[in-house]
Amino acid sequence: MNKSAKYITVILLLLLSLGTKPFAIQQPTLGNHECFVSITAREMLQNNNWVVPTCNGKLRLQKTPLSYWLVAAVAKITGSVNEFSALK
């Protein structure tokens, strides 16, 4: 294989990969941690209790409530707790 054929092959592969890239982009999904944070933030908004975080009615005191507050603040601005407000 000569040099020009190698360059053409590389260019074709690059164009092919760039052409398929938009189809590979997906909406990010939430993991377990983000789900617990978003549920806790939703309960903070529903109960108007920003001091004691709960998740499904159970206390959630393993970590500081900053992440819950941030998700709840973004959710209050956007209007709901969703994937956008729960992702870090």
42-64 pLDDT, tens digit per residue, is 999 999 999 999 998 899 888 88
Q: How many helices (H) and strands (E) are present in the chain, helices listed first? A: 4, 2
Residues 6 or more apart from 84 whose CB is under 8 A from it? 74, 78
**Could you tell me which of 65, 60, 67, 64 has the C-alpha nearest to residue 34?**
67
Summarize pLDDT for 8-36 with one digit per residue, the tens.
888 888 777 776 655 555 556 677 888 88
pTM: 0.64
What does the alpha-carbon distance between residue 55 and residue 68 come to, in Å, rounded to a whole number?
11
